[in-house]
Structure formats: C-alpha cells, structure tokens
Amino acid sequence: MQSSPTVPLSNGLQIPILGLGTSHHGGYSNEAVLYALRECGIRHIDTAKRYGCEEALGKAVAESSVPRQDLWLTTKLWPGDYGYQSTKEAFRASCVRLGVEYLDLYLMHWPDCTVQGRSNREVRAETWRAMEDLYDEGLCQAIGVSNFLVPHLEELKEDCGVVPHVNQVEYHPFQQPRVLMDYCCKEGITFEGYCPLAKGQALIHPTILQIANKYGRTASQICIRWSIQNGVITIPKSTKPERILENCQVFGFTLKEDDMECIKRLHSDKKLIHLTYPLWKG
C-alpha cells in the first residue's frame, strides 16, 4: 500500500493526511486496527477517552509490531476532566491505557465544559495551560482542540500562549465550514475533518455516485479523495477490513477541478454530530 502523504503542523511536525478513526457504540475493532496497521500502511489512528477503547487500541498497536516512532497517535480529553490538575491526571491515565509514554496529538474534545459554577472560557483557558505544560515537557508532540468555532479560538488566543496546532471538526460534502477553515489557515491551525462520509449519507447522493462512476471508484473513495485534496486531514471510521482497504486506496487518482466544485456545491450546513452531555453555560 502507498503510504499516506503528510501535512505540516505549525511546529514543523508532519501528520499523515489519512488516518483511521475510532468511536464508541461499536465503532472499534481490534481486527480492523491490526489490518489497517499491518496490511494498509495506516500510521495515524485517532481515538478518545470518551470512546472507551484506548486500552484495546494500545494492545492492538503493541500486537501490530509497528514501531512507536512510526505511528501518529491522537486521543482526546473529555470535558468532565477539564481543569488544570485533572487534565494532567486524565492525560497520564490515557497514556497508561494506550501503553505509551507520549502522545503525538492531544485534543480538547469539545469547547463547552462541565464544571458547574465557572465560565466555559475560564475553564478552557485553565485546561489549555495544562495542555501547554504537557507540550513543553515533551509529553505531547502537538496539542489541539476539537469542535472549536472561531469565537472559542479567538478567546484561547487571547488567554494562552500556544496556538492550537490542530482543530478537528466535522467535515464532509454537506458540512464545509469555510469561515472556520479560513480562520484556521490564517492562524496557522491545521484543519482536521472527521465524519468524511457523512455517516453514510454521502454514499447515496446522486452527485457523489455520478462522480464515482466517472472515475471507476467507490463513493467513499470519492468523498475521502475530495477531503484530502482540499488539504484536510481525514480520519474515516470503519470496523471492516475490506472497507478500510477501500478507504486507503485514494492516492492513485486526482479529482478534476469541476468535480471538486460539484462536491463543494453540496454544502448545506448539515451537522450530524451533536453534544450528548449536559452543559452549564456561563
């Protein structure tokens, strides 16, 4: 398998532009992870404490025999662990579950917090200071955020010292947050997209199917190719080896500009991922 091209972060590190996502509710498979690492050349895996599969993933990575230095491993801090000391404790616990001494990328999972009686901005800033310390100590190669919008990023820029290296956000043909993407580009924040197949909804859209037929490719390959051709780090999820193989075969062709534009016009501001925990505003 052809290895994934990489995208530079503002600190000079290179992150593979294609990775394997994991999730909760049946969104993890040891067989799939091993297949991705051993047979498909995947070297970028994304997970989170919330998904409940860090320990299983750590065992699969060890079993794969892929050298640690060759693997890009991302996990995320859940809002219930926000706060300076609790962030550091949650980080250490994630490392233990994953069986690693450092993370390549550590993300704040959501901008809203679950610390009652304190403002979201205050808790975000305190949490980010802990993230900065982990980064300065070399325990995280890069730090970032997930699901942050421009106002959240603006506040973080005012309150803290290190600009996030990555912002991971829902991104697919129906959800193309261009204002946010332009802001991230201007501020040197690398944009990463999850849910590239729109939970399967993009795979049955007539425009996607027509383009897939034109190139002799599958609908999922068209969606992933479109995403990475836009320079977006892309992390499709699958627990089926045959689907993972299909999703990796996206570097042997290029979409023409008119086809890129056709998919761009599918944007309808449709969000498929929403918060599932109570929030305390402030």
Nearest residue to 184 via CA among 223, 145, 158: 145
93: number of Cβ within 10 Å: 13
Read off the tokens for 89. Answer: 């404790």
Strands 6-8 and 14-16: antiparallel
* Fold adopted by 6-199+233-239: TIM Barrel (3.20.20)
Query: Mean pLDDT, consecutive 10-residue segments, the chain of 282 residues?
Result: 88 98 90 96 97 97 97 97 97 98 98 85 97 98 98 97 98 98 98 97 98 98 98 97 96 97 96 57 33
In this prediction, residue 228 carries a pLDDT of 98
DSSP 233: E
Dihedrals phi, psi of 270, to nearest 5 degrees: -90, 115
Cα 240 to Cα 28: distance, rounded to the nearest angstrom:
10
pLDDT 10s digits, 107-131: 999 999 877 788 999 999 999 999 9
Catalytic residue numbers read: 51
Q: What is the pLDDT of residue 26?
A: 81
| Chain mean position to CA 187 | 18
Q: Provide the pLDDT for residue 277.
A: 43
- Return the pLDDT at 32: 95
Write out the binding residues for substrate: 109
Q: What is the DSSP letter of 50?
A: G
